[in-house]
């Protein structure tokens, strides 16, 4: 499978979930809006600086008290403009980092540049492991060992999700649970803290790691499982 085909598989998987892989993240959009606001503020502040200096009409000031007040205000205005310029540079760097993270996401990578360990990204992981076999991967051996291990887990989870019973599908569609993206066979109960059920052999059972603790939690889980 070509790199383009693998990327298309990942994009199609996201689109099926209602996620636009080409859309900027919320954080990127907010960061860009803030950058635009800062630029507008700097423009307005720069105008204030020029307008303040234009009050002298190029003439020397004979009133020492008035001159001191004038120059103090000029210093404040210029200081704010300098601070805004500094904020703009910092915000531009933040936007650049977020855009890089968005680009990584579109290519099946996390913000650190590693592969996303999700079922949707199985083709991309397989491709990278094939590259490693040819000696073409830039990932460290320890990272590649991790990817091989995680790939086996993801394939097993995918098999679980492909063989969901009608009862389990009914629970999923009930809106009472949220799927954990990192471990897709684990579903957390809405309204409860760290209480989950887990898909095994196509059916749901109480998660051993996120089991209900109180009588109320146990009753809710029992009602969901039926």
Instruction: Please write the tens of the pLDDT for every residue from 158-186.
Output: 888 888 899 999 999 999 999 998 888 89
Residue 130 in tokens: 């094939």
CA distance 176 to 172: 7
Burial of residue 78 (number of CB atoms within 10 Å: 0-12, 13-18, 19+): middle
Query: In the predicted model, is pLDDT for residue 22 greater than 70?
Result: no
Burial of residue 103 (number of CB atoms within 10 Å: 0-12, 13-18, 19+): exposed
CA distance 128 to 221: 40
Q: 6: which residues sit within 8 A by CB, 6+ positions away?
A: 108, 123, 124, 127
User: How many CB atoms are closer than 10 A to CB 140?
Assistant: 9
Q: Are 115 and 109 in contact (CB under 8 A)?
A: yes
Q: Are 119 and 148 in contact (CB under 8 A)?
A: no
Q: Are 221 and 193 in contact (CB under 8 A)?
A: no
Helices and strands in the chain: count of H runs, count of E runs: 7, 4
Structural element, H or E, at residue 204: strand 203-206
Q: What is the pLDDT of residues 103-159, one digit of tens each?
A: 888 878 887 889 999 888 999 999 999 999 999 999 999 999 999 999 999 998 888
Residue 40 in tokens: 């507008």
Burial of residue 70 (number of CB atoms within 10 Å: 0-12, 13-18, 19+): middle
Q: What is the pLDDT of residues 37-49, one digit of tens each?
A: 999 999 999 999 9
Average pLDDT over residues 70-92: 95
Residue 62 in tokens: 């004979």
């Amino acid at each position: 499978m070509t790199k383009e085909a693998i990327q298309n598989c990942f994009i199609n998987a996201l689109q099926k979930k209602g996620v636009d892989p080409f859309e900027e993240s919320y954080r990127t959009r907010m960061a860009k809006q803030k950058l635009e606001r800062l630029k507008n503020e700097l423009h307005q502040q720069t105008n204030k600086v020029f307008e303040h200096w234009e009050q002298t009409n190029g003439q020397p000031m004979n009133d020492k008290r008035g001159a001191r007040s004038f120059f103090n205000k000029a210093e404040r205005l210029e200081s704010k403009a300098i601070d805004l310029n500094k904020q703009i540079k910092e915000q531009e760097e933040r936007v650049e980092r977020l855009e890089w993270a968005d680009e990584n996401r579109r290519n099946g990578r996390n913000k650190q540049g590693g592969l996303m360990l999700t079922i949707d990204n199985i083709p991309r992981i397989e491709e990278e492991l094939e590259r490693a076999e040819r000696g073409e991967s830039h990932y460290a051996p320890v990272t590649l060992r991790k990817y091989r291990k995680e790939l086996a887990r993801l394939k097993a989870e995918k098999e679980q999700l492909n063989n969901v019973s009608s009862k389990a599908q009914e629970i999923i569609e009930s809106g009472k649970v949220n799927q954990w993206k990192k471990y897709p066979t684990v579903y957390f109960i809405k309204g409860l803290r760290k209480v989950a059920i887990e898909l095994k052999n196509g059916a749901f059972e109480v998660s051993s790691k996120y089991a209900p603790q109180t009588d109320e939690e146990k009753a809710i889980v029992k009602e969901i499982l039926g």
